[in-house]
Structure 1
Amino acid sequence: MNLFTDIHRLVIEALDTLTEDGALPEGLAYDNVTVEPPRDPAHGDMATNAAMVLAKPAGRKPRDIAEALAGHLATDERIALAEVAGPGFLNLRLSESVWQGVVQEVLAEDAGYGRADMGQGRRVNVEYVSANPTGPLHVGHTRGAVFGDALASLLDFAGWTVTREYYINDGGGQVDVLARSVYLRYLEAHGQEVAFEDGTYPGDYLIEVGARLKELHGDAFVGQPESVWMEEVRTFAVEAMMDLIRTDLAVLGVEMDSFFSEKSLYGTGRIEAAIEDLDGKGLIYRGTLEPPKGKMPEDWEPREQMLFRSTAHGDDVDRPIRKSDESWTYFAPDIAYHYDKVSRGYDELIDVFGADHGGYVKRMKAAVAALSEGAVPLDVKLCQLVKLYKDGEPFKMSKRAGTFITLRDVVDEVGPDVTRFVMLTRKNDAPLDFDFDKVLEQSRDNPVFYVQYAHARIRSVMRKAEAAGIALDEPPRLEDDAELAVAKKLAEWPRLVEIAARSHEPHRIAFYLYELAGDFHALWNKGNESPHLRFHRDDAPEASAGKIALARAVAIVISAGLGILGVTPVEEMR
């Protein structure tokens, strides 16, 4: 059930009737006709722009259309009042029975309330985290992991068939640096003193990896050149880091469906196949790029390279595919990886990148547009930086990681539920301040507490009702404006899900839950002053059952919303 969709359908039917009656000309397009909550709730429950957007093509005054439309809508039993405002906006107030019906619908559909079929089973690949396998996940990866996982759950809730995928960047030079770092820890395990130089990784997390390498190979690699041990240590180190990363993700409650290795693209003809596909479309050529805009690098010199004509698909400049030494650029395997995604039959692709990948968006979109001939859309979501604070000061780096705050540091401090919810209290492309003290406060200023407290209050009421023998299957009783406000917020849930899924913005779920919790807490506090509004009354079990029905509906929606965010709804506050 989507009440806004139902009323929108009613508006369209009324417009059709006006057309049949000759009040409107035939052939009008209704694509831009909307039914939405008004900006000011005092204006009504819903508002439609129908008269405003149809006035010009219809050759009518918007107010005349609005008044005619209001007359037709007022005949429907769901519409208590249809009122024309300003030049032609139409505000609608719905009857109280509609809101009672919403609560009953929530209780009837239970966890299915708000689920949508807008995805129609289309297959979408959501790639997120995809950190270099050179160490534990840091706080930036944490935000990307939470965002990507919540987005995947949101799309699943809205009817898509979702694959969660991690792209393992194990094909570049940074993995060689990891192997050298593990080798140093291996030598250290043999009692040698070592120095971490040339960019090697000094984090303590490699101590155990070096010790395990010693257990596996003894002293076979001691004193040997890289040519002897590099390939073996490289493979061993990547596997160890991926085990670490999987463990970190599990602590956060993130489970991937698929892991794709960049290394699998090399020496297998898969990069060549992707480039040949683009070449067959006339998009690969040899040429010389213009010098970069702005300050000229001292070492820049014009040189002929193999280029991808990405400007043909919206990019600012064409992009190199091979370096001057004929080795592949870092962009080439990424093209091949997305070529593989397209070949796997996905209908849509989503990449979740860190803030430092902003310059990579247009070229990747151009590549996917070219590879799929425009059939497969790619949406790239950038996650901005997270600043951590504790005791009013920036949170210090992790000794274990060596240079950064790890995912495990954050989760150990506040737990996975708080971590996930707080990471979604800002839009992904906005910076986020994460204050360890504030996120654990038990106050309205802490959104995760505020939402969890609402759910815990409801569960407490239900336990008391069950202990008192009060039936929990009674229809709702809505008698007060505060109760109607809660029911109206519940009616927004299906619409909110569709908007969030369409825009790929799971933070909207967190915002909505905070608002719903606020309406519920306001009703609870009003019950402290007006006993007849209390959810549980020993002297009025029948009335309590009707009040508890509304609370149960709130708990259902909060639980569903938290489920999308990957947060566990609590049964009681401790």
Structure 2
Amino acid sequence: MTLYARFAAHLDTILDTLTASGDLPEGLDRRNVTVEPPRDHSHGDLATNAAMVLAKPAKTNPRALAEKIAPQLEALDAVASVSIAGPGFINMTLTDATWREELSAIHAAGDGYGRSKMGEDIAVNIEYVSANPTGPMHMGHCRGAVVGDALASLLEFAGHKVIREYYVNDAGGQVDVLARSAHLRYREALGEEIGAIPEGLYPGDYLKPVGEELAKEYRGKFLTAPEDAWLALFRKRAVLAMLERIKADLALLGIHHDIFSSEAELQAAGKPEAAEKWLREHDLVYDGILEAPKGETPEDWEPVELPLFRSTRFGDDQDRPIKKSNGQWTYFGADLAYHFQKSQSADQLIDIWGADHAGTVKRIVAAVKALTGGKTKFDVKLVQMVRLLRGGEPVKMSKRAGNFVTLADVVNEVGKDVVRFTMLTRKADAQMDFDFAKVVEASKDNPVFYVQYAHARVASLKRRAADAEIQCNSADLSRLDTAELALVKRAAQFPRVVEGAATAREPHRIAFYLYDLASDFHSLWNLGNDQPERRFVIAEDSGLTCARLYLADAIGQIIRNGLGIMGVRAVEEMH
């Protein structure tokens, strides 16, 4: 149990006591009662809004209620003092012994510090990346890939069972274009001069190896054959080749999915038909005619009867077709069936989408609500695009890749850890610039460097202590003073940050916290530049050195735990 959870439990016991004595009525809703750090650290270590939240339903004055709660909090052994602020906020200052105990708890938990059981083994399916299998991964896919993967790790750390899934869109017109593009490269591999890539086909050189493999295997068999003789085969082979490349690109970022679900296989298995049948049985699909799109004149609009999903029943602004006029499934129709399939093996679903898909969120949320009877929690996280810069100037696209910057090129230039950490330095739905010069800068303004440098400094202390011939078999934590215990207070927030980030499904909160923790550590370290007695390693005082190394080791452990969630290495040295 975290320090904050322990005090929430203490507060709950106090409220039970006040209820039993008649000072509070039975059945008060306490869900909005919190125990958290005060915004102003000068007010203490912990604060609770209990009196403010409960006073109105209890028909009493907030400050009067606070005056009944405060003495019981102050009676706790771990509490040094309690004060009531303003209309009824209660602030607590904890004893130094309490913070020393928490420091020991960090050491005892090790790489488990901050882990939570709040997830209760609830199964969460997170679908992320899901780029069309028509080429290598580019930086347009990168941010969603990192956000999804870090969120998966975060939820696992918080006690969820997580399924990482990639949806392969291999049933639409884009994969036919891919097959035709591969056929062009097949002809090229057989010696034909193909000239400029025709408009509408994929121009990147990445399809050359696919064409070469097909030429090696089939020689001239399909050189002049009609399209229907080779389209399905070339589509299958090209998609498989692109998927292998996508997996290799993602592996450069340390990303591996548990499941790759095929849209083509979904349709071949009749899953959309089964979903439509179920929806019709429950009066959630009907045959109707859509209104003409805005701006269309009657001459331009030909009304066609289509099967429509009643998405307006679930908050959408209009009902949505699940089939086209030619009988093929709409993207929404196939997507609806896919989410129905996912809901069979998970309690909760999360999709990580690019912000350009914002317009389709309402309809798929409505579909999942309908298909699962509202039992499956479903959330769509929108991720904004990343603008690539080099020294403040836009990065030129790569013609070799097909007019985009590949993920592999970026990772090979700056490294996996830099890419992953940087992608989590802003909230996912906020715009982001990725400047190749800034992300490798050795400065406080570069969060990646600043956090890893903090860990490297912690690692260096063992070497410094060894050079000073100091061995630490134990640590007298009473030697730690107020400034050093302030660092423990920041460290102790990690479990709370994990639970808050998991609840909000915002992995960037871990990056923000690590930066703050690193900043506090660096500040304490830098005191020793002007004050030798504040250095972590003091050759003449092994007792104080061991206490400070014990503190530093705890900070290093939390940095490792946090970086582990983010999928970033904790380095031992900086070069």
The equivalent of 1:386 in structure 2 is: 386
Partner amino acid, structure 2, of 1:31: R
Q: Is 1:350 equivalent to 2:350 in the alignment?
A: yes
Match of 1:266, SS? helix
Match of 2:477, SS? coil
**1:310 Cα deviation (Å)?**
1.2
Match of 2:452, SS? helix
Q: Which moved more, 1:544-553 or 1:314-323?
A: 314-323
Q: Is 1:555 equivalent to 2:542 in the alignment?
A: no
**1:406 Cα deviation (Å)?**
1.2
**1:463 Cα deviation (Å)?**
2.6
Whether contact under 8 Å (2:470, 2:539) holds in the other structure is no
Q: Is 1:328 equivalent to 2:329 in the alignment?
A: yes
Match of 1:458, SS? helix
Partner amino acid, structure 2, of 1:235: K
The equivalent of 1:492 in structure 2 is: 493
Whether contact under 8 Å (2:480, 2:547) holds in the other structure is no
The equivalent of 1:436 in structure 2 is: 436
The equivalent of 2:421 in structure 1 is: 421
- Tell me, in whole angstroms, the C-alpha distance in 1 between the residues paired with 2:263 and 2:488: 50
- Tell me, in whole angstroms, the C-alpha distance in 2 between the residues paired with 1:80 and 1:134: 63
**1:328 Cα deviation (Å)?**
1.3
The equivalent of 1:93 in structure 2 is: 93
The equivalent of 1:74 in structure 2 is: 74
The equivalent of 1:180 in structure 2 is: 180
Cα–Cα, structure 1 residues 411 and 299, in superposed 2: closer, same or farther, change >3 Å? farther
Match of 1:494, SS? helix
**Superposition pairs of residues 498-537 of structure 1, within 5 angstroms:** 498-537=499-538
Cα–Cα, structure 1 residues 558 and 62, in superposed 2: closer, same or farther, change >3 Å? same
Q: Is 1:445 equivalent to 2:437 in the alignment?
A: no
* Structure 1: runs of 5 or more not aligned: none
Q: Is 1:412 equivalent to 2:409 in the alignment?
A: no
The equivalent of 1:46 in structure 2 is: 46
Whether contact under 8 Å (1:310, 1:319) holds in the other structure is yes
- Tell me, in whole angstroms, the C-alpha distance in 1 between the residues paired with 2:355 and 2:200: 23
- Tell me, in whole angstroms, the C-alpha distance in 1 between the residues paired with 2:530 and 2:473: 24
The equivalent of 2:276 in structure 1 is: 275
Q: Is 1:227 equivalent to 2:228 in the alignment?
A: yes
Whether contact under 8 Å (1:37, 1:46) holds in the other structure is yes
- Tell me, in whole angstroms, the C-alpha distance in 1 between the residues paired with 2:166 and 2:470: 50
Cα–Cα, structure 1 residues 457 and 472, in superposed 2: closer, same or farther, change >3 Å? farther
Partner amino acid, structure 2, of 1:358: A
- Tell me, in whole angstroms, the C-alpha distance in 1 between the residues paired with 2:206 and 2:477: 56
Q: Is 1:252 equivalent to 2:253 in the alignment?
A: yes
Q: Deviations over 1:283-339 (max 9, x none)?
A: 010111223346769843332211011112222211101111222111111111111
Whether contact under 8 Å (2:480, 2:548) holds in the other structure is no
Cα–Cα, structure 1 residues 302 and 57, in superposed 2: closer, same or farther, change >3 Å? same
**1:374 Cα deviation (Å)?**
0.8
- Tell me, in whole angstroms, the C-alpha distance in 2 between the residues paired with 1:566 and 1:74: 42
RMSD, aligned α-carbons? 1.5
- Tell me, in whole angstroms, the C-alpha distance in 2 between the residues paired with 1:68 and 1:165: 52
Q: Deviations over 1:474-505 (max 9, x none)?
A: 25356333212210111101110000001110
Q: Is 1:23 equivalent to 2:26 in the alignment?
A: no
Whether contact under 8 Å (1:104, 1:476) holds in the other structure is no
**Superposition pairs of residues 453-492 of structure 1, within 5 angstroms:** 453-466=453-466, 468-471=469-472, 473-477=474-478, 479-492=480-493
Whether contact under 8 Å (1:181, 1:200) holds in the other structure is yes
The equivalent of 1:396 in structure 2 is: 396
Partner amino acid, structure 1, of 2:435: D
- Tell me, in whole angstroms, the C-alpha distance in 2 between the residues paired with 1:331 and 1:478: 64
Partner amino acid, structure 2, of 1:227: D
Match of 1:9, SS? helix
Partner amino acid, structure 1, of 2:21: D
Partner amino acid, structure 2, of 1:216: E
Q: Deviations over 1:210-250 (max 9, x none)?
A: 11111111111112221111111111100110010010001
Partner amino acid, structure 2, of 1:198: E
Give percent identity, aligned residues only: 55
Partner amino acid, structure 1, of 2:369: A
**1:209 Cα deviation (Å)?**
1.5
Whether contact under 8 Å (2:391, 2:438) holds in the other structure is no
* Structure 2: runs of 5 or more not aligned: none
Q: Which moved more, 1:170-179 or 1:455-464?
A: 455-464
- Tell me, in whole angstroms, the C-alpha distance in 2 between the residues paired with 1:387 and 1:270: 38
- Tell me, in whole angstroms, the C-alpha distance in 1 between the residues paired with 2:516 and 2:152: 23
**1:44 Cα deviation (Å)?**
1.4
TM-score for both structures, normalised by structure 1: 0.97
Match of 2:268, SS? coil
TM-score for both structures, normalised by structure 2: 0.97
Whether contact under 8 Å (1:100, 1:478) holds in the other structure is no
**1:163 Cα deviation (Å)?**
0.8
Q: Deviations over 1:512-544 (max 9, x none)?
A: 000000000011011223333321121111211
- Tell me, in whole angstroms, the C-alpha distance in 1 between the residues paired with 2:44 and 2:533: 26
Q: Which moved more, 1:524-533 or 1:353-362?
A: 524-533
